Structure 1
Amino acid sequence: MDPSGIFFTSHAGDRSLIRTRPQWACLIALLFVLATAPWWASDRWVSIGYTTFITAVAVIGLQICTGYAGQINLGQSAFMGVGAYGAALAMSAGWDALAALLIGGMGAALFGVMFGLTAARIKGFYLALTTIAAQALFHFLVLNLPQAWLGGAGGLHVESATTFGISLNNDRAIYWFSFIVLVVMTAGAFGIVRSRHGRSFEAVRDDDVAAGMMGIPVAATKARAFLVSAFYAGVAGGLWVVALRHVSVEQFTLFNAIWMIAMMIVGGLGSIVGALIGTVLIQLAREGVTSLGPSVIQWVPAVGQDFVFAAMNVLLGTVIILFLLFEPKGVMHRINISKKAYRLWPFPY
């Protein structure tokens, strides 16, 4: 629903994502603030920024698989780990960081599509168990393959990361690199969900039997959703290696995948912007708990060092329960309602 007086005379205009000049101005201002943040923000906020960007790439991929295609995926952290190891091996061999991201993404996509094929026969709770098996298989392979291949429990270390001859060994460079990748991947996600593939995802999500009767290849569509989701996770894993220059199996656990599910629920299922909003809100909440933890321990020494981790668990569970009870469609749904009310005011009918 557009504001009064806003209309289009072409299909391209009617399908445009950014429809008014104020929307363009807000988007450009947001991109400008984010792009210039390393020049005026503290080092801690720069670090929080690129960590949020990396997580957002993985959550967008999960949104495509679960929010748009309706395929429950609890293996996103494992797919991210596969991409991280693939990118680390590529960068250790001297590949450019950007090429390493693509290699990691393709490796994760191949790993993910194997589990996507199982979605052709099973759904719901059983599909969730299958994707958990991806997490277990990832840990098993990394820890039991020869140590010379993936480093075993100690993981792999990357000496340096460069792209087009530019070193990525400082926080500012990592921030800008992650920001650019996030912008590209977000634009790609909008392109996917607005294409025939996105319409197929939504049709399968709403009713896979009816979608099959309309001629949509249901099995291939479900596998494609897992492939795209795993590719995004693999690219995020590659960015993680660029940021830390080290990868180990402990960095990619089932608990991380549940955090991504929480981000998607908070932002709203079936919305790319919702995935971004949910990621930012949950990341800020986590940083708030992390910052307050040491102070609480000083004030009340009896709580012990495990307070922060326990508070994280309580925060995660509380957020998921509250949103499922009171706002199951996420923050983006509430934003859309507010926008419609503003555009209709003072004529609520």
Structure 2
Amino acid sequence: MHSTVISLPLFNERRRAFTVLAVMLVLACASILFSCVVGSVSLSVPELFSALGDMLRGEPASLAGTLLELRLGRALSAFVTGATLALAGVMMQALLRNPLADPYVLGVSGGAAVGALFAMLFFTAAWLIDIAAFAGAVAVAFLLLLLAYRDLRGNTGADGGAPMLLLTGVIVASGCGALVALMLSLAPDNRLRGMVFWLIGDLSSTQIRWLPWTIWLGALVFAIRVARAVNVLALHAEAAATLGIRVGRLRQGLFLCSALLTASAVSSAGSIGFIGLIVPHACRFAWGPDHRLLFPAATLAGGSFLVLADTLARSVLAPQQLPVGVITALIGVPIFLFQLHHIHRK
């Protein structure tokens, strides 16, 4: 009887987590299907499933099949980008112990911007722009790790070296911002629009690639494995080492994963803001701070949010397309202000 009473709260907690994740997964699939049927030329649900059957059978694509192929590829790219940014945001907030941290706070996105704009300025191949953006982000991430390695590795206090890492990241981001401004001032008019769209965040030219999915899934597996340790680190940072947690290695893992996630997202779609900030806050507000649920729930919510935002960006003024980063900012500002005001009232 005693063991049954003890295990009942744990059973209820697991059932609640399973229910939340199941609902979020259904919503993620629904957002992708919604994105496939909405556009300047709408598709009915029967046309959608008929075109999907033609694609699976390998039959020649009809108009509906062509639209589905284009929209599905863009929706999947939007989902993995949003999921990546949200997961990176949760990791960054746990690493820096700062609820205002987001994936761009340490300057990794600045490194990606420098690499991408350099490639846009001197080259034209889209694949080269993606490679340059990813390489720039990874280079800045490793520079930050090199500069703050001793603090991340050896400091087991409450801040864990976070102030030094944050200060280093802000300085590096400022340098990257100066390089970005220089390249924009030197860019010819025929390339300036594309460079500005990339900086704002744009999914119009994205393609399905295996690397973002691999990075996201690998980082998600790591996050779920260390979620219990992250909970302990968040609540009892000073005593975490005495409880058997390898604090230095955990912090390094969180930093490297968040940096890789940010590099992947920014190289795919540019600097799309607010997802890594508001989605973790919204999920924490709805379901609490337990990272065992927060990591997977936030990443599903982030993917769904960006899919819906991108659908709005390409359909609200169709056939003209808006940068999706503008849409996420316009939605994110009032949501974050509401969350902030609600928390302050408590």
TM-score category (smaller protein)? 0.5 to 0.7
Partner of 2:91: 64
* Cα deviation, residue 217, structure 1: 3.4
1:239 aligns with 2:252: no
- Measured in 1, the distance between the counterparts of 2:130 and 2:238 equals 40
For 2:339, which of 319, 322, 328 is the aligned residue?
319
Partner of 2:280: 264
After superposition, the C-alpha distances for 1:221-242 in whole angstroms (9 at most, x for unaligned) are 223312221221111110124x
Percent identity (aligned): 11
- Measured in 1, the distance between the counterparts of 2:276 and 2:187 equals 23
97-106 or 228-237, which deviates more:
97-106
For 1:143, which of 153, 172, 178 is the aligned residue?
178
SS of equivalent residue, structure 1 residue 209: coil
Query: Within 5 A, what are the aligned runs for 1:248-327?
Result: 256=273, 260-268=276-284, 269=289, 270=291, 271-279=294-302, 313-322=333-342
Query: Within 5 A, what are the aligned runs for 1:59-208?
Result: 59-67=86-94, 69=95, 71-72=97-98, 74=101, 76-77=103-104, 78-86=107-115, 89=118, 99-100=131-132, 102-113=134-145, 114-115=147-148, 118=151, 120=155, 123=158, 127=162, 131=166, 134-143=169-178, 147=182, 151=183, 171=204, 174=206, 176-177=208-209, 183-195=213-225, 197-208=226-237
Distance 1:309 1:272, change over 3 A: closer
After superposition, the C-alpha distances for 1:98-129 in whole angstroms (9 at most, x for unaligned) are 75565345224314434575453665599469
- Measured in 1, the distance between the counterparts of 2:308 and 2:30 equals 24
* Cα deviation, residue 211, structure 1: 2.6
- Measured in 1, the distance between the counterparts of 2:277 and 2:311 equals 20
For 1:217, which of 242, 246, 249 is the aligned residue?
246
Query: Within 5 A, what are the aligned runs for 1:12-51?
Result: 34=32, 37-38=35-36, 40-42=37-39, 50-51=77-78
After superposition, the C-alpha distances for 1:306-325 in whole angstroms (9 at most, x for unaligned) are xx989864442113333676
Structure 1 unpaired stretches of 5+ = 1-14, 161-168, 242-250, 295-307, 327-349
* Cα deviation, residue 194, structure 1: 3.5
Distance 1:170 1:234, change over 3 A: closer
Partner of 2:64: none
After superposition, the C-alpha distances for 1:280-337 in whole angstroms (9 at most, x for unaligned) are 676589789999x99xxxxxxxxxxxxx9898644421133336768xxxxxxxxxxx
After superposition, the C-alpha distances for 1:256-288 in whole angstroms (9 at most, x for unaligned) are 4x6532211102342233223543676589789
Question: Do the aligned residues in 2 keep the contact of 1:60 with 1:276 (CA within 8 Å)?
Answer: yes
- Measured in 2, the distance between the counterparts of 1:219 and 1:81 equals 26
- Measured in 2, the distance between the counterparts of 1:128 and 1:274 equals 28
After superposition, the C-alpha distances for 1:120-163 in whole angstroms (9 at most, x for unaligned) are 3665599469626623531334416994xxx2656796999xxx
- Measured in 2, the distance between the counterparts of 1:324 and 1:284 equals 30
SS of equivalent residue, structure 2 residue 206: helix
- Measured in 2, the distance between the counterparts of 1:123 and 1:212 equals 11
Structure 2 unpaired stretches of 5+ = 1-13, 42-69, 195-201, 318-327
Question: Do the aligned residues in 2 keep the contact of 1:65 with 1:228 (CA within 8 Å)?
Answer: no
In the superposition, the TM-score normalised over structure 2's length comes to 0.53
Q: How many aligned residue pairs are there?
A: 263
Question: Do the aligned residues in 2 keep the contact of 1:106 with 1:234 (CA within 8 Å)?
Answer: yes
Question: Do the aligned residues in 1 keep the contact of 2:79 with 2:306 (CA within 8 Å)?
Answer: yes
In the superposition, the TM-score normalised over structure 1's length comes to 0.53
261-270 or 315-324, which deviates more:
315-324
Alignment RMSD (CA, Å): 5.4
The amino acid that maps onto 1:227 is L
- Measured in 2, the distance between the counterparts of 1:101 and 1:51 equals 18
- Measured in 2, the distance between the counterparts of 1:312 and 1:27 equals 22
